[in-house]
Structure 1
């Protein structure tokens, strides 16, 4: 089923006037943003000029998970020289519509693409583009204890229209998800006391999902328990399996690296790798 709507095009940019308080970027990336004055502004020249994004600040933090409201929710936006996009909930008509507001010309014009006409209050949210045309959105919501609803959506026209994929068939809490190409995608489950990785894969653009097989060597049983998002690596795929929130093997500072040569269905242990996320 396709849940899409024609975008609202050519919404004009708004630049902050000189008499407003000086804006300061939250991040140190090439494309900066700020949420000062309860508005979202972006800059492509380190703060010399600012462009107001036509999105209500509260919409950016709507859902079950609202972040700290001082910074955008990780994964909910794209900031590059060629494309900026913001994923948020539009509940103005009481349907809790999920939309993106995006610009391909550094904020000169803005377009709106409807990802889902209706969706439960979001917990996990993520948007990414692999090229100018193909992108994905991963959402979860409607959480009850340790269960929730998870779904992915794809666009093949740069964000104008979106298509809902089939459900993965797993209601555990979503850890992460994404696509490595237009056909191959993954969803990883199990955030609460995981004992083994729970990774699902599609090889047909989300029409069907299968549980990936990740045999854990006995030495690492109940140590490497949570799969991260696989990546392409040469002629194969690689995935890191971390220790989850309670891991203490070698101080919790290592992950298991696994390799797949059949595009994500079967995985074999490769080596331990140092975690760059643990101080």
Structure 2
């Protein structure tokens, strides 16, 4: 019996000694404590996953060509990028108002001391921000509302702008370049005064303007097949099921050997929760359009 008691006492003593040795080496409990985690410093806000990006931090306009390792200033005031009829988020550039690629960075903006002296300009760089050139697109142009710039290749690009809005009417203009944006020429006017919803070109001759953003009941799409010399309204064949549902045409795009276009439900659409668009196809380069299928709004 004495041997058993002695053995138990030895085990208790050994356990206490081991606890004294190993307990200080155990990690401290974090229950009820905030973890001490430090976020890595963010040099500039990024808005895309591409190596080329921009920043508007601290009211400065900067650009990077190496995923944010180095930033270069753009010689333009941040406010100029938002001039005109715009009340959206000023922490990100207006959608479609700029082009960012490895070989060409371009920003469309409006500048002037008064509406009568307002000019539409493009500032762009071909050497990764080392030097910039300012190009005047239009002088004495009213404050712009809709704005869009894009290039289909290293030569051809287009600019679509609108301004001077009065209720549901406004002026719109289309400009084309054949020399990488160094010079621009205005196309003939479409003579449509409804508000511009979208537009774009699919090649150097074929372009589109979509009109109607205030409670439209059907899409209105105009097409040119001669580089803007003439514009004509396209025929969109909407099935009875989707009439007054798909009402605003978006810019067409190439899909194989035909053109495709999405038509959305407008700001108050509630068909299928407002989460679908109609996809339409054209086999005659945009003159007529036939319904294809429903697609999710985020596709």
Q: Which bin holds the TM-score, normalised by the shorter protein?
A: 0.7 to 0.9
**C-alpha distance in structure 2 between counterparts of 1:235 and 1:33, whole Å:** 35
Once the 2 structures are TM-superposed, how far is the Cα of residue 71 of structure 1 from its aligned partner? 1.3
1:205-220 matches, within 5 Å, as 205-220=227-242
Do structure 1's residue 39 and structure 2's residue 60 form an aligned pair?
yes
In the other structure, the counterpart of 2:8 is none
Give yes or no for contact 1:193–1:244 (8 Å, CA) kept in 2.
Answer: yes
2:75 aligned residue: 54
Provide the C-alpha distance between the structure 1 equivalents of 2:244 and 2:88, rounded to a whole number of angstroms. Answer: 30
| Structure 1 gaps, min length 5 | 1-20
8 Å CA contact 1:227–1:241 kept in 2: the answer is yes
The alignment status of 1:191 with 2:213, answered yes or no, reads yes
Instruction: Select which of 25, 39, 53 maps to 2:45.
Output: 25
Answer whether contact 1:82 1:104 (CA < 8 A) is retained: yes
Root mean square deviation, CA, Å: 1.6
1:265 aligns with 2:287: yes
Contact preservation (8 Å) 1:98, 1:115: yes
SS at match of 1:267: strand
Deviations 1:129-164 (A, max 9, x none): 001111000001000011111111001111111001
CA distance in 2, matches of 1:187, 1:23: 39
- Which SS does the other structure have where 2:236 is aligned? coil
Supply the distance in 1 between the matched residues of 2:248 and 2:239 (Cα, whole angstroms): 14
Task: Tell me, yes or no, if the aligned pair for 2:137 and 2:184 is still in contact at 8 Å.
Answer: yes
Match of 1:156 among 178, 198, 201: 178
TM-score with structure 2 length normalisation?
0.82
Residue 22 of structure 1 deviates from its aligned partner by: 7.1
- How much has 1:39 moved relative to structure 2? 1.4
Higher relative contact order (CA 8 A, sep 6+): 1
Alpha-carbon separation, structure 2, partners of 1:46 and 1:270: 39
Question: 2 CA distance for matches of 1:250 and 1:36?
Answer: 39
| Gap runs ≥5 in structure 2 | 1-40
Matches within 5 A, 1:64-143: 64-91=85-112, 95-143=117-165
Q: Distance between the aligned counterparts of 2:68 and 2:143, measured in 1?
A: 34
Asked if the contact 2:45–2:57 (Cα under 8 Å) also holds between the matched residues in 1, the reply is no
Task: Give the aligned length.
Answer: 257
User: Counterparts of 1:37 and 1:123 in 2: how far apart (Å)?
Assistant: 25
Shift of 1:67: 3.1
Q: Residue deviations 1:212-261, cap 9 Å, x none?
A: 00021111111111111111111111111111111111111221111111
Comparing 235-244 and 92-101, the one that deviates more: 92-101
Report the TM-score when normalising by structure 1: 0.88
Structure having the higher Rg: 2
Identify, as 1 or 2, the structure richer in helix: 2
Cα distance in 2 for residues equivalent to 1:71 and 1:274: 25
